[in-house]
Amino acid sequence: MKRNAIKTAAALMTTTVVIGTLCSCKYETPETTVSLAPGETTAPTIDLSDQSFDTAYGSQLIGYLNHQYYFEGEPIPLAESNFYFIDAFSELSQYATYYGLYPVTPEGWIDLSAPVTSDIQTADMEADSSEYANYGEFLIEYAERMLESTYIIKTLAQEQGIELSSEDLAEIDSILTDTVTPSAAAAGITNDEYLQLYYGPSCNEEEFRTIVYDYKLAELFTSDYIDNFEFDEDEINVPNTRYALFWAPEEESDEETLAAQEALANELLENCVDSETGELSLDLFDVYGTFSASNYSNGEDGAYQYSREFAVSRGACVQAYEDWAYGEDRAEGDIEVIYAPEYGYFVVGYLGTTEVEDTLKDQIAVDGMSEYILGLIDDGVYSFYTEEEYIPAVPVETTLPSATESTGVGVTAETAGNPASSKDIIMTVLAAVGGIAIVAAIIAVIKNAFTKPSTPKVGSEDDYDDDDYDDDEPVSDEEIMRELDELNSK
């Protein structure tokens, strides 16, 4: 099996959390009659008469479902493997439809038949395009890692005697009673029939409970792992720096621009020299006035970005910056000009070391867990396989209806007039399960432990004394995740 570089970001929730909440979806309601409760004047309805499992996800995904997998020689229920493939497919389709990161079929889903012509990159994963002939191949490995990781975590949790409490079990029950049951009743079908519509003929209430149980067990194991993680001193005490960035990325800057920005950086460095001692002083390292970021925004000479304090964790920023911060001879009070081809010239100052925030500690612990789980997978400690081959997806004809056209699927009469496709119904089911997950429960452990490098963020002058900065750069991966979350919560 190919082993691509799938990466994790700290405190990422399971993909289904990003999709949204059940109450956020509004649908057009066909005429369907159900029994009214006392005091009700309008019955909630769903017309699913034109829906089937074979077409619920467009015409391509069905070929990737219903493959029998085995873990430690025991068959994995088809309902569970289907769930993870559907979850992965839905997540990738979100990136495809909302942000155009992947090709989309006329049906409105990621095109599994399309060739992978560029490296795959999202907020929480990266993959080399040369390893995949099409997006279907990537989906297979992505979903397989989700599924295998879940079973490994489940095994480890059981070995440690971790069990769900009565409150946890009640939470699982509430997913069925609060989401699946009302929707099934509104459609005039049983819970089993409703679940089979979206997860296949083998799915029923019992199987669905097992899937959610495994999610919850992974959540508990992850929490326990984080709570008991032993940190290396070097992991939580990191270099603390100050910097001013003069924008001159190598790919978009000519020689004149490079020279001008380097000269400004050196001028700022010279301003840091104490006239009485002749030594560089961090007290003089400031950008107000001559090197103000507002000057830059007005088209004048100035620093593109400035931060009074920036803690440098390994893998958190561009290599040149990290190398300088972790230099063997680095001493408090050092100030230099360095060049990072991704961004330009940095004037950097060394403030000593600082302890990272708790959120980063959680990330370090999750990364440690991720690395551990991936090691078990790559070393083949557990047996995980399928004997069934996958047939590549066939391109979807462009004559199919647009994904934006309503199929008439509805949920409640009171929300009538808001059209939705069958995909909206699917997302509500996924969201209901994702709602029980905590940070990094499943997704974090299927992705590589190393965080994708990023740069310090751009800030306005009003933010110079704070740790938070407004980002004027292209939309970051973290912002995409936040936007997806906000979009689906409306």
Q: Which range (187-201, 271-285, 408-422, 450-464) has the least confidence?
A: 408-422
Confidence of residue 363 (pLDDT cuts 50, 70, 90): confident
Residue-wise DSSP of 409-424: --S-GGGTT----HHH
Confidence of residue 127 (pLDDT cuts 50, 70, 90): low
190 has pLDDT over 90: yes
DSSP letter assigned to residue 445: G
Please report the pLDDT score of residue 121 as a whole number.
60
Enumerate the domain spans of the chain.
Answer: 15-230+363-455, 234-356
Q: In 326-443, which ranges are continuous DSSP H helix?
A: 358-378, 422-434
Q: Which residue has the tokens 């990003």?
A: 18
Confidence of residue 371 (pLDDT cuts 50, 70, 90): confident
d(CA 105, CA 110): 6
Contact 302, 247 (CB under 8 A): no
Mean per-residue pLDDT, 306-326: 91
d(CA 86, CA 57): 8
In 3-state terms, the chain is what percent helix, strand and coil (to 5)? 45, 10, 45
If DSSP codes are grouped into helix, strand and coil, which group holds residue 240? Answer: strand
Confidence of residue 261 (pLDDT cuts 50, 70, 90): very high
d(CA 245, CA 347): 7
Please report the pLDDT score of residue 218 as a whole number.
86
Confidence of residue 470 (pLDDT cuts 50, 70, 90): very low
DSSP letter assigned to residue 176: I
d(CA 303, CA 287): 7
432 has pLDDT over 50: no
Which residues lie below 8 Å from residue 90, measured CB to CB, with a gap of 6+? 15, 16, 19, 426, 427, 430
**Domain with residues 234-356, CATH architecture:** Roll (3.10)
If DSSP codes are grouped into helix, strand and coil, which group holds residue 309? Answer: strand
E-state strands within 248-376: 305-311, 335-340, 344-355
Mean per-residue pLDDT, 180-199: 90
296 has pLDDT over 70: yes
Contact 448, 8 (CB under 8 A): yes
Please report the pLDDT score of residue 301 as a whole number.
83
CA distances from 484 to 15, 20, 202, 356, 480 (A): 11, 9, 31, 27, 6
Please report the pLDDT score of residue 130 as a whole number.
75
245 has pLDDT over 60: yes
Structure tokens at 38: 């006392």
Q: Which range (39-53, 208-222, 331-345, 432-446) has the least confidence?
A: 432-446
Mean per-residue pLDDT, 1-22: 28
Confidence of residue 129 (pLDDT cuts 50, 70, 90): low
Rounded (10°) CA dihedral 9, 10, 15, 18: -110
Please report the pLDDT score of residue 117 as a whole number.
82
Please report the pLDDT score of residue 114 as a whole number.
94
Q: Which range (175-189, 203-217, 475-489) has the least confidence?
A: 475-489
468 has pLDDT over 80: no
Strands 126-127 and 120-121: antiparallel
Confidence of residue 120 (pLDDT cuts 50, 70, 90): low
Residues across the chain: 490
Which has more pLDDT, 38 or 146?
146
Average pLDDT in the chain: 75
Which has more pLDDT, 465 or 324?
324
Mean per-residue pLDDT, 443-458: 33
Mean per-residue pLDDT, 366-391: 92
CB atoms inside a 10 Å sphere around CB 412: 18
Which residues lie below 8 Å from residue 124, measured CB to CB, with a gap of 6+? 7, 8, 9, 12, 443, 447, 477, 481
Which has more pLDDT, 61 or 370?
61
Contact 112, 136 (CB under 8 A): yes
Confidence of residue 154 (pLDDT cuts 50, 70, 90): very high
If DSSP codes are grouped into helix, strand and coil, which group holds residue 426? Answer: helix
Please report the pLDDT score of residue 289 as a whole number.
67
Contact 268, 242 (CB under 8 A): no
Which has more pLDDT, 80 or 427?
80
E-state strands within 21-155: 69-71, 74-75, 120-121, 126-127
Structure tokens at 395: 């391109």
Q: Which range (130-139, 279-288, 433-442, 472-481) has the least confidence?
A: 433-442
Confidence of residue 247 (pLDDT cuts 50, 70, 90): very high
Q: Enter the pTM of the model.
A: 0.66
DSSP bridge partners of 69: 386
Q: 87: closest CA among 214, 193, 172? A: 214
Please report the pLDDT score of residue 294 as a whole number.
73
Mean per-residue pLDDT, 427-437: 40
Q: Which range (86-100, 289-303, 396-410, 467-481) has the least confidence?
A: 467-481
Mean per-residue pLDDT, 254-263: 95
Structure tokens at 208: 């669905």
Residue 394, exposed/middle/buried by CB under 10 A (0-12, 13-18, 19+)?
A: exposed
Q: 50: closest CA among 407, 310, 490? A: 407
Rounded (10°) CA dihedral 384, 59, 104, 435: -60
Confidence of residue 482 (pLDDT cuts 50, 70, 90): very low
d(CA 142, CA 171): 28
d(CA 242, CA 129): 37
DSSP bridge partners of 241: 310, 350
25 has pLDDT over 50: no
